[in-house]
Amino acid sequence: MYLSDRGFEVAVADNFVRRLYDAELGVESLVPIATLHQRVRTWKNVTGREIGLFVGDLRDPEFVYRIIGEFRPQAVVHFAEQRSAPYSMIDRAHAVYTQVNNVVGTLNVIYAIAELDPDIHLVKLGSMGEYGTPNIDIEEGFIEIEHRGRKDVLPFPKQPGSFYHLSKVHDSHNIHFACKNFGLRSTDLNQGVVYGVETEQSVRHPDLATRLDYDAVFGTVLNRFCIQAVLGHPITVYGHGTQIRGFLDIRDTVRCIELAIANPPARGEYRVFNQFTEEFSINQLAELVSRTWPGPSTVEYVDNPRTEALSHYYHARHTKLVELGLVPHKLSETLIQSLFQVIERHRDRVNWEAIRPTVNWRRTRNPRASGAGFLEKV
């Protein structure tokens, strides 16, 4: 919607599997969302602009070749991945599903671009979590290393913390190689944790709303904390809350994609942008939410279900998007208050059982899962 609003001719491809994960986990987006067909119709009614619609699965190469062959895009914005770390850690089937879906889908996109039009710019959603939490500053994709008297600029070491984040590392390597090998051009957007739900476009009609996840599998931390505060549920800080991550407002996500498209890399170039605007510890977020919520709120320190560093150094560079013109929306009490308002409108839709974390990284089988192999067959 954002790109369409900015004058780009846009088509969207979807296999609706995100809705299937909800059915599997027994949850729904807190904000009701219309079908994609309805959204596209409403967008046309509201703005007069068409968005093309392709229904299919990126794991199906014929589908991928068809979209790119028929639509002939200038850029492919590839967000079509299973994006939850806890989902990938439920059990073997979910780890396999996540990596096959993400890595095979991306390989099909790479090949379709290489064969049909290698000039197309692949804008790929990566993750800040690919880097993990090293005890040195994180660079934007590459680091200059001096080793035994020789120097080189090498990919920044990757130490991700889930099979989901690992799938993004595998994608990064595959895309980097494809740029060198086939002369493709690509931008890997290593995005931090997103918060917020409304954009300038999504508020124009209720049918245009995007999803807001509160559950422990798909909900991201700040959105979850806001929802927990409104419901009167304890704010679930994992571990000591001293983990630090990079965050960004949903409105900056869409702007960053536009900036990447407007400034494409040269043929053969693989570049990485660290796409976040501010760093916070989990405790800072819990405090901000508690302070902003006008009613009572409690913070509960939950045994950390994940394998992640508790206290650690964290400082990541993120200058490239700012150099291209990003003016970040900083996290503020006003944004939190507007999120509270959206949540209060839909608070009755919450399934309370889905709020507490049930997926433990150290177990090889976890509850909230479908029958083993369900997704591999989908």
Chain center to CA of 278: 16
Candidates 80-88, 145-153, 329-337, 339-347 — which segment interacts with ligand USQ by CB under 6 A?
80-88
Is 217:162 a contact under the CB 8 Å cutoff? Answer: no
Candidates 59-67, 240-248, 345-353, 368-376 — which segment interacts with ligand USQ by CB under 6 A?
240-248
As measured in angstroms, the least distance from the Cβ of 321 to ligand USQ is: 15
Which run of H or E residues covers position 300?
strand 299-302
> Roughly what angle, to the nearest 10 degrees, separates helices 92-99 and 163-182?
20
State residue 279 phi and psi, 5-degree precision: -110, 135
As measured in angstroms, the least distance from the Cβ of 325 to ligand USQ is: 22
What Cα–Cα distance (Å) separates residue 312 from each residue in 37, 239, 323, 351?
45, 13, 28, 34
Binding mask 3-42 for ligand USQ (x = CB under 6 A): ----------------------------------------
Q: What is the C-alpha separation between 16 and 22, in angstroms, rounded?
A: 11
For 59, which DSSP code?
T
Binding of ligand USQ by 196 (CB under 6 A): no
Candidates 64-72, 148-156, 234-242, 250-258 — which segment interacts with ligand USQ by CB under 6 A?
234-242
> Roughly what angle, to the nearest 10 degrees, separates helices 105-116 and 61-71?
40
Q: Which of 221, 250, 261, 289 binds ligand USQ (CB under 6 A)?
A: 221
Dihedral sign computed on CA atoms, order 74, 84, 202, 339? negative
Residue nearest to ligand USQ (CB): 129
As measured in angstroms, the least distance from the Cβ of 183 to ligand USQ is: 28
Nearer to ligand USQ, 223 or 292 (CB): 223
35-64 binders of ligand USQ (CB under 6 A): none
Q: Which of 78, 94, 121, 224 binds ligand USQ (CB under 6 A)?
A: 224
Which run of H or E residues covers position 110?
helix 105-116
Residue 276 in tokens: 């976040």
Binding of ligand USQ by 73 (CB under 6 A): no
Nearest to 216 by CA among 127, 280, 306: 306
Nearer to ligand USQ, 77 or 120 (CB): 77
Q: Which of 193, 209, 316, 354 binds ligand USQ (CB under 6 A)?
A: 193
Q: Which of 243, 297, 358, 360 binds ligand USQ (CB under 6 A)?
A: 243
Token pair 């608070």 in the structure block, residue? 347
259-318 binders of ligand USQ (CB under 6 A): 282, 306, 308
Nearest to 81 by CA among 59, 66, 63: 59
List the end-to-end C-alpha distance of the chain, in Å, as a whole number: 28
Candidates 94-102, 185-193, 333-341, 345-353 — which segment interacts with ligand USQ by CB under 6 A?
185-193
Token pair 């704010």 in the structure block, residue? 235
Binding of ligand USQ by 246 (CB under 6 A): yes
As measured in angstroms, the least distance from the Cβ of 2 to ligand USQ is: 19
Nearest to 53 by CA among 43, 62, 45: 43
Candidates 9-17, 38-46, 200-208, 217-225 — which segment interacts with ligand USQ by CB under 6 A?
217-225
Which residues are CB-contacts of 77 (< 8 A; sequence separation ≥ 6)?
A: 3, 123, 125, 257, 261
Kindly report the number of other CB atoms within 10 A of residue 214's CB atom.
28
Nearer to ligand USQ, 106 or 236 (CB): 236
As measured in angstroms, the least distance from the Cβ of 221 to ligand USQ is: 3
Binding of ligand USQ by 186 (CB under 6 A): no
Candidates 44-52, 64-72, 230-238, 261-269 — which segment interacts with ligand USQ by CB under 6 A?
230-238
Binding of ligand USQ by 83 (CB under 6 A): yes
Which residues are CB-contacts of 146 (< 8 A; sequence separation ≥ 6)?
A: none
Binding residues for ligand USQ (CB under 6 A): 83-85, 127-129, 191-193, 220-221, 224, 236-238, 243, 245-246, 282, 306, 308
